[in-house]
Structure 1
Amino acid sequence: MTSPPGVHRRTPLVLLFGQGVLGLVVGVVWWSLTRHPATWMVGEPVVTSTSVYPIARDGVFTVLTGLVGFAAALVVVTRGGEPHRPLLLFASALGGAFAGALIAAGLGTSLPPSGDAAVAHVTLRAWVAVLVQPFVVSVVVAVVTLVQALLEWTRTP
């Protein structure tokens, strides 16, 4: 089954702006999950202290943005072999991944504390976590492309 002709031209824009919109969703989900981290995020109740909250917040952010990056990489891999510009598709996926992660971090840190008991905002301590989403896009696309190239190479006589 073939796609309508305009779909392939819109894929880079969907990757670029779609990840930005998903950054809004990820920011709100990250904020809601890490306002009061659950024990499954920070460990047993006996060892839970406020000193491990930043690690849990950064970890949740990393997992959420990594999942979005993986989904974007799957779109690149499935659409990249078609006769449109694969480098444009990849570049828009990387740009969208970086923008989406920045939007998520900015929104999550700008939302207010959860109440009077919470004295601090949800913050991202390790800002390098913003690079996880584009890194996941790059690694997944590179690995899948390498495996496809190796399979083609071994099949040729």
Structure 2
Amino acid sequence: MHAALRAEGGTLAVAESLTGGLLAAALVDVPGASATFRGSVTAYATGLKASVLGVDEGLLDVYGPVHPLVAGQMAEGVRRLLGADYGLATTGVAGPEPQDGQPVGTVHLAVAGPGGTLVRSPRLSGGRATIRHGAVTAALELLAGRLAQRDAG
């Protein structure tokens, strides 16, 4: 991931809710991450998604924090806020209980960058830790796929 970002001179910022810092931790676990990783915002509270990341308050009022459009706006917001080429975001429900009518395992991921924003919504199962770690893996795969598309295009 970092090698692909370095190859294009790109940088990455992360906005996390569901994963609560696990995604940033996975990214900085790699030696040399400081060349591409700008930083992260863990906006666990719904209000922070609006006040810090710029997620539309009306969107949050209507759909709540677990929605594909929220993930997209989180990725766009952190990209803008931290001055990165790419923004990567996670939101969802890890459990053990449903949240705002969304079942456990609902996950929305987004990557924003040159060429727009891509959102994916994998359905994950298992316990809280399994869902959170699965979301990290899926987010990294989403970013890797986006970078590979850019390289191919």
TM-score (ref. length: structure 2): 0.31
TM-score (ref. length: structure 1): 0.30
Greater share of strand residues, 1 or 2? 2
Greater share of helix residues, 1 or 2? 1
**Larger RCO: Structure 1 or Structure 2 (Cα < 8 Å, ≥ 6 residues apart)?**
1
Which one has a bigger Cα radius of gyration?
1
